[in-house]
Amino acid sequence: MKPDGVRGHLDALILAVLERGPLHGYAVIEALQRRSGGALDLPTGTVYPALRRLEASRWISGSWSTVGGRRRRTYQLTRAGRHALSGQRAEWREFHRVIDGFLGGDRWQVPAP
């Protein structure tokens, strides 16, 4: 899947990954790849700016630690992030329902006048 394919949905995907618990930045990338069955192989230049954006919006919080002599930033979902994820899931379901009406193979049911 092309990185452009997740445009507009990356924040929700990251929030969903962090819903399972705190992860450092590269582990977020690995979780996205693993949970998508390898379909999402996103570059660090796509994911790290999104992590910073989500942290600035206070949907995630980050803290520095040192592991094996290397500094890493670990992120976790905040209460506001859980609320945002819930809203984004509802928006996704509605979006999917509408688009599936066109691309899902079923004919769109137009209500009778």
For the chain, domain boundaries: 3-103
Q: Please return the burial class of 35, using the count of CB atoms within 10 Å of its CB with bins 0-12, 13-18 and 19+.
A: middle
Q: For 5-37, what is each residue's pLDDT tens digit?
A: 788 899 999 999 999 999 999 999 999 999 999
Q: Which one has a higher pLDDT value, 111 or 19? A: 19
The pLDDT of 64-92, averaged and rounded, is 96
pLDDT at residue 111 above 70?
Answer: no
CATH of domain 3-103: 1.10.10.10
So what's the pLDDT on residue 5? 73
pLDDT at residue 108 above 60?
Answer: no
Q: Please return the burial class of 45, using the count of CB atoms within 10 Å of its CB with bins 0-12, 13-18 and 19+.
A: exposed
- pLDDT band at residue 113 using 50, 70 and 90 as cut-offs: low
Percent of the chain exceeding pLDDT 90 equals: 74
